[in-house]
Amino acid sequence: MDAFYASAEQAAKPSLRGKPVVVGGLGPRGVVATASYEARRFGVHSAMPMAQARRLAPNAAYLVPRFALYRSVSDQVMELLGRLSPLVEPLSLDEAFVDLEAGSTADDAASALKIGRQLREAIEAVTGLSGSVGLAGSKMLAKIASEEAKPDGMRLIEPGTERELLAPMPVRTLPGVGPATADHLRRAGMTTVNDLAEAGEAELVRLLGKAHGGSLHRMAFGYDDRPVVAERDAKSVSVEDTFDIDLHDRVRVRTEVERLADRCVQRLRAAERSGRTVVLKVRRYDFSTLTRSETLRGPTDDPAVVREAAARLLESVDTTGGVRLLGVGVTGLADFTQEDLFAQAAGERAAAGLPDGVEERPEAATESREGRARAEPGPEGAEQLAARRWPAGHDVRHDTHGHGWVQGSGVGRVTVRFEEPGSAPGRVRTFRIDDPALRPADPLPLVREPPDYSSWPASLPKSRSGAGASGTESRP
């Protein structure tokens, strides 16, 4: 998908179409997740510090991510891909490999290109967004083709042309070549894929080891036999937050750990999994990072158990000097829960002086945490709390004016633009942050009534031979 988060925001907000949009963390330590192509013209790109992006593009719209929207759009796209083949390997919300041979939907370049055209049309019709398609005989080449096709394009790499295509490209183009490996190769005089091919396998093995060196030598000639893997079994579920200002108050740190534990369990339950080991991550003021873990008697998805385990782990960590990042994760995943853990949670609550069998309601926990945050002294004041309650770009609904999104908040006010995905650019109004008529809302679908693709791709040609767009023609 093209500039996925930013494009989704532009589709949802008519007033932002054709304008620079930057999505990411908006605090002093925030980074850019995605920038629209309009913002990229100013030099803004993903992973850039948000403060630098603001200097480059001061008039862009800066928005907090809305992952509920992105996941819903991603699900629609993945459903379309699943109609092409049983082998779909998602890499992220906005990117996936599809094995067309396994779907018997392509047997030559012409049929592969037809599939690509129809897929792009279907994605735009269902989501209102554009995507770029790369077609090739391997995962590596399909990825390169899709990058060259961006934005809103399609590229086919014919078998037999791989060597010529790859030769002038930088070594970072190949999978497995990160900054450290690229620097190591540069010092050895290799900066392009052609340099790797001409160096020979023995030299690459000497520099990088047998597995890595041999793999890169094959890829330099366009050979990549990695299969498309339909399901990747997650090994862990985790969440973490980086704070705009270091946390010093021990009570506030524990409150944040509990909040992260609740979010982690929400993700765990959404994946219909449970976990046995709770992991706490703490990055301190000096960038030193500590991790602590506790293994329970069995797998659980009980928020009370995870909260209490994370809190116990925190007791063993020295937070003197301040905390800049906290994370809570669960590993040792399973598809079931162990019932006696509920008794374990009850016993631990009793030991803490809480009534047996009474569990704090999630909403009550949220209220109590917010109350403590308001009451405790420290760097987070009313403006920070308002920004947390009314994140820029997030959806709201007003009893009189209907659906809108937050343009910004400050000085006890929140500014809202009232518009919907299919409407004209809407009007802007300002309210008190505690206006009872204004409340957070769920994102609206980008396309109100997408076409029926239940029978798609019935009209596509069926494979008559063993080789296809993702077949084995380009393998050694």
For 272, counting Cβ atoms within 10 Å of its Cβ (0-12 exposed, 13-18 middle, 19+ buried), the class is: exposed
Active site residue 272: no
SS3 label, residue 120 = helix
* Beta bridge pairs of residue 242: 325
Determine phi and psi for 260, rounding to 5 degrees: -65, -35
DSSP conformational letter for 115: H
Which one is catalytic: 95, 148, 348, 360? Answer: 95
SS3 label, residue 282 = strand
Helices 340-351 and 303-315, axial angle in degrees (round to 10): 50
If one counts every other C-beta atom within 10 angstroms of the C-beta of residue 248, the result is 15
Query: In this structure, is the dihedral angle defined by the CA atoms of residues 142, 147, 148 and 149, taken in order, positive or negative?
Result: positive
CA–CA separation, 339 and 365 (whole Å): 23
> Residue 468 to residues 104, 464, 474: CA-CA distances in angstroms?
8, 9, 11
CB contact at 8 A, 30 and 24: yes
Strand ranges (E), 56-200: 61-63, 88-92, 95-98, 133-135, 154-156
CB contact at 8 A, 243 and 292: no
**Angle 356-361-362 (CA atoms, 0-180°, nearest 5)?**
135
Which amino acid is it at 445?
P
**Angle 307-269-308 (CA atoms, 0-180°, nearest 5)?**
10
Determine phi and psi for 29, rounding to 5 degrees: -105, 10
CB contact at 8 A, 398 and 418: yes
From edge to edge, which strands make up the β-sheet containing 21-24? Answer: 32-35, 21-24, 61-63
Residues 6 or more apart whose Cβ sits within 8 Å of residue 110: none
Best CA proximity match to 322, nearest among 281, 291, 280, 282:
282
CB contact at 8 A, 84 and 53: no
Query: Which residues are catalytically annotated?
Result: 95
